[in-house]
Structure 1
Amino acid sequence: MTNLIQVFIERRGDLSVALWQHLVISITALVIAIIIAVPLAIWVVRRPKVAEFFLQVTSVLQTIPSLALLGLLIPLVGIGTVPAIIALIIYALLPIFQNTYLGISEIDSSIEEAADAFGMSRMRKLFKVELPIALPQIISGIRTALVLIVGTATLAALIGAGGLGTFILLGIDRNNTGLLLLGAISSALLAIILSLIIRWFQTAKPKQALIALGVILVALGGSGAYSVYANRTETITIAGKLGSEPDILINMYKDLIEANDDHVKVTLKPNFGKTTFLFNALKHDQIDIYPEFTGSVLETLVKGKNPKGLTADQTYALAKKRLATQADLQLLKPMAYNNTYALAVTKTFQQTHHLKTISDLRQIETELNPGMTLEFIDREDGLRGLKKAYDLDVTAKSMEPALRYEAIHKDRVNLVDAYSTDSELRQYQLAILKDDQHFFPTYQGAPLMKASFAKAHPKVVTALNQLAGKISETDMQEMNYKVNVQHKSAASVARQYLVSHDLLKGVK
Structure 2
Amino acid sequence: MDAFFQTLVDRRSALLTALWQHIEISLVSLLIAMAIAIPLAIWATHHKRFAAFMLQIAGVLQTIPSLALLGLLIPIVGIGTVPAVIALVIYALLPIFQNTYIGIDDIDPSIEEAADAFGMGQTRKLFKVELPIAAPVIISGVRQALVMIIGTATLAALIGAGGLGTFILLGIDRNDTALTLIGAISSALLAIILSWLINRLQHMRPRYLIGGLVVLLLGIGGVGVANAVRQPADNITIAGKLGSEPDILINMYKDLIEQDNKHVHVTLKPNFGKTSFLFNALNHNQIDIYPEFSGTILESLVKTPQSDKGLTANQTYQLAQKDMQQQFKLSYLKPMSYNNTFALAIREQDAKAWNVHTISDLQTVENKLKPGMTLEFIDRPDGLPGVNKTYGLNLKAQSMEPKLRYEAIHNGNINVVDAYSTDSELRQYHLTTLKDNKHFFPSYQGAPLMKTSLAKKYPGVVKSLNKLAGHISEKDMQEMNYEVNVEKKSAKTVARQYLVSHHLLKGDAK
Please say whether Structure 1 and Structure 2 have the same fold, judged by a TM-score greater than 0.5. yes
When normalised by structure 1's length, the TM-score is 0.98
CA contact (8 A) 2:238 2:250 kept: yes
Amino acid at match of 2:12: R
Q: CA deviation at 1:506?
A: 4.7
Distance 1:154 1:39 in 2: 28
What SS is found at the alignment partner of 1:257? helix
Label 1:442 to 1:374 Cα distance change in 2 as closer, same or farther (>3 A): same
* 2:137 alignment partner in structure 1: 137
Task: Tell me the amino acid that sits aligned with residue 259 of structure 1.
Answer: Q
TM-score by length of 2: 0.97
In 1, distance between residues paired with 2:125 and 2:313?
75
Give the secondary-structure state (helix, strand or coil) at the position aligned to 2:11: helix
CA distance in structure 2 between the partners assigned to 1:443 and 1:470 by the alignment? 15
> 1:218 deviation in Å?
4.6
- Gap regions ≥5 residues in structure 1: none
- Equivalence for 1:284: 284
Q: Decide whether the 8 Å contact of 2:371 with 2:415 is kept in 1.
A: yes
Q: SS at the partner of 1:483?
A: helix
1:364 Cα offset (Å) = 1.4
Cα deviation for residue 213 of structure 1 reads 4.3
Question: Equivalent residue of 2:175, what SS?
Answer: coil
8 Å CA contact retained: 2:132, 2:206: no
Matches within 5 A, 1:38-437: 38-204=38-204, 213=213, 216-231=216-231, 233-302=233-302, 303-437=304-438
Flag the 1:208–1:100 CA change in 2: closer, same or farther, 3 A.
closer
CA RMSD of aligned residues (A): 1.4
SS in 1 for 2:419: strand
1:464 maps to which residue? 465
Q: Quick one: distance in 2 between partners of 1:207 and 1:304?
A: 59
**CA positional deviation for 1:207:** 8.8
CA–CA distance in 1 between the matches of 2:111 and 2:507? 80
In the TM superposition, what whole-angstrom CA distance separates every residue of 1:205-257 from its partner, at most 9, and x where no partner exists?
67975786466335313211212212361200000000000000000000000
Identity over aligned residues, as a percent?
A: 66
The Cα of 1:507 is off from its aligned counterpart by: 5.2
Residues 1:378 and 1:99: Cα distance change in structure 2 (over 3 Å): same
Assess, with a 3 A threshold, how the Cα gap between structure 1 residues 210 and 45 changes in structure 2: closer, same or farther.
Answer: closer
Distance (whole Å) between structure 2 residues aligned to residue 261 and residue 114 of structure 1: 74
Residue 35 (structure 1) aligns with: 35
- Judged with a 3 Å threshold, the aligned counterparts in structure 2 of structure 1 residues 307 and 232 are, in CA distance, closer, same or farther, namely closer
Q: Distance in 2 between matches of 1:304 and 1:386?
A: 18
Residue 267 of structure 2 aligns to a residue in which SS?
Answer: strand
Secondary structure at the aligned position of 2:271 is classed as coil
Rounded to whole Å, the distance in 2 between the matches of 1:209 and 1:126 is 14
Could you say which residue in structure 2 is the equivalent of 1:487? Answer: 488
CA–CA distance in structure 2, aligned partners of residues 327 and 210 of structure 1 = 47
Contact kept in structure 1, 2:358 and 2:436, CA below 8 Å: yes
* Secondary structure of the corresponding residue to residue 357 of structure 2: coil
Whichever residue aligns with residue 380 of structure 2, its letter is R
Please, which runs of 5 or more residues in structure 2 have no aligned partner?
none
Partner Cα distance (1:342, 1:228) in 2: 43
Taking the aligned partners of 2:373 and 2:211, their CA distance within structure 1 comes to 53
- The reply on whether 1:451 has 2:464 as its aligned counterpart is no
- Matched position secondary structure for 1:338: coil
Give the secondary structure class of the aligned counterpart of 1:345: strand
CA apart distance, 1:47: 1.5
